[in-house]
A = this chain, B = another copy of it.
Amino acid sequence: MLKRQTVCLSLFIMCFGVALSAQVTPSEAAARYTNAHQPELTREFQEFLSIPNVAADPASLERNAYFLLNALRSRGVDSRLLRVAGAPPVVFGQILTQGAEHTIVFYAHYDGQPVTPSEWTIPPFDATVRKVDGEDRIFARSAGDDKAAIFAQLTALDALKASAIALRANIRFVWEGEEEAGSPHLEQILQTNRDLVHGDVWLVCDGPVDQSGKQTVVFGARGDTHLEITVYGPHHGLHSGHYGNWAPNPAMMLAQLLAGMKDQNGRVLIPHFYDGIAPLSAAEKQALAHAPVNDKMLMDAFWLGHTEGGGAHLLQLINEPSLNINGLSSAQTGPHAANVIPPTAIADIDLRLVVGIDWKVQQQRVIDYVRSRGYFVVDHDPSKQELTAHARVAKIICDPASYNAVRTPMELPMAKEVIAAVSSARGRVVLLPTMGGSVPLGAMERAAQTRTITVPIANYDDNQHAANENLRLQNLWDGIETMAALMDMR
């Protein structure tokens, strides 16, 4: 065996002497490249992160898009911006490979969650490197979610080129600018450019790896929808002494409304909330059974004294729909608190969905529950006539930028190839049926006539969606290896 290999290798060197470096695997090529260029790569990533990318600032989202367009063009990638009115563009790029039989699409997003700078220790767009537990991390909005994935893809291209590893499939990049706003225009943009964005598989590079730190491949994601509920007290703030325990207090009304939505174990009490859930397949159950159980480690990391779910593990609970309060507000707390009966109280509700539950149906279940608690429900600021005619009035604004959950069967041939590629780069891989966070996989699948498989690279503790978001730099270097291995797929 040894002799035969040596012969083959010699032959290979003789025939392809100029491409000697191609003997390295894609992930080795990536490791070699990043080891040689870490300082420059870190600076380039910082430059990318320093461009603000929140939905409230469309001009900066455009700057991100042009930054990426230039990044692709400078690498010789055929690229353009795909636009629809009123939305940040999708940055598109493609490398057509002669003789390729398959097309692999790499999806990521360049926009980030809103920021509240006062909550950040390090300004959200300063992209500062700090040591955490002896390891370098880079702090910035979207460091983990999701600019890291884009930067890893660009760098993987450079690494493959540096080692003269030729691509074997067609490669496409679809980098969205509206994911954190619920991707309201993605499906339209994809459908308008159906031929450009089609692929045998979409590799969705978003979200964190398993909390154990092991590279993860995820075969679906929860869907997501939101409702904003506003309940009403007096037309304007009233003195809480002169009118307290006579004028209804909307903060208390809201507390009572919300309190009835869940029991003490976090089980949602809204009627029919769990109806329709598609059960997991045998393979999915098996994957879950083999996945690390990180609950105790996470409780310690998050300083938690209990968890919801009556003892169920995180990975089990992620395969159920959820109801989460993202924010509450009524008048002021802290130094600005005043003795008032507030005029309104507001709750932002996040509903995560699993396969089998449609987002519109789930929204309606919440609305029906609010009605069942004696509320007259409106979808606009209520008039005086509406407020005085009903004991309790709630305005419910349903987010139209919502989408359903998706799961790709793990048994598909393409799924097995992706698992093999990732394993070649990163060793044993955690396989999960569902990611807790949401990605608009359904829109991608419908519009691009494809299947989606998610390959995240960020550390789980990246403060995604919160203040002081950060990426462990080692996750970036590892992620570049993973992306290089995926780009080498046939």
Contact = CB atoms under 8 A, between A and B. Distances in A.
A490 to B, nearest CB: 32
Given A251-B325, A300-B388, A332-B329, A318 B240 contact: no
Given A114-B336, A331-B328, A340-B465, A307 B222 contact: no
Contacts of A88: none
A155 interface: no
Given A300-B388, A332-B116, A466 B308 contact: no
A346 interface: yes
Interface in A317-344: 317-318, 320-342
A387 B56 CA distance: 36
Given A113-B338, A255-B254, A299-B388, A240 B305 contact: no
Interface string A232-267: 111111111111111111011011101111101010
A390 interface: yes
Interface stretch (A15-23, A101-109, A435-443): A435-443
A436 B243 contact: yes
B388 A239 contact: no
A387 B303 contact: yes
A467 interface: yes
A445 interface: no
A395 interface: no
A129 to B, nearest CB: 19
A100 interface: no
A233 B321 CA distance: 20
A208 interface: yes
A309 interface: yes
A157 to B, nearest CB: 29
B340 A309 contact: no
A358 interface: no
B352 A247 contact: no
Given A236-B463, A251-B325, A350-B339, A242 B333 contact: no
Contact of A239 (B246, B348, B465): B465
Contact of A116 (B308, B327, B336, B393): B336
21 contacts: A114-B332, A116-B332, A224-B339, A228-B337, A235-B303, A238-B302, A242-B460, A244-B323, A245-B309, A248-B266, A248-B307, A252-B324, A252-B325, A255-B255, A306-B391, A326-B331, A326-B339, A327-B342, A328-B333, A328-B345, A339-B350
Given A241-B435, A329-B333, 5 more contacts: A235-B303, A326-B339, A327-B331, A328-B329, A329-B329
